[in-house]
Amino acid sequence: MKITPIDFKKRRVSMLSNLYIFLARGDLVIDPTKFPALVSAFQRYCVDLANLKIVGKYDFYKVPPPHRLWIWEEDVEKAKDDLGLVE
């Protein structure tokens, strides 16, 4: 069976969607020594600039890329005060 680029893209998107679901539910345990890039990828919160809503670490795909603002976890409370963000 020959896999076309479109098939590959659909399969990759499906795998990433499943990974995000596992991470959000806490079902997936990742060894940080084996996958440091994956672990470090989910350390920031995404904010939807269209409505100033904090969408969290894992729901960023619901926000169009031009409307995304990334905030470090330790800065969320200050950003709420300074920017008027809501959860």
Beta bridge partners of 47: 54, 69
Q: Phi and psi for 68 in degrees, rounded to 5? A: -90, 135
The Cα 39–Cα 82 span in angstroms is 28
8 A C-beta contact, residue 68 and residue 60: yes
pLDDT digits (tens, 9 = 90+) for 20-77: 555 555 555 556 666 676 666 778 899 999 999 999 988 888 899 999 999 998 999 9
Rounded distance, CA 10 to CA 81, Å? 40
pTM, rounded to two decimals: 0.59
Q: For the chain, what are the domain ranges?
A: 43-87
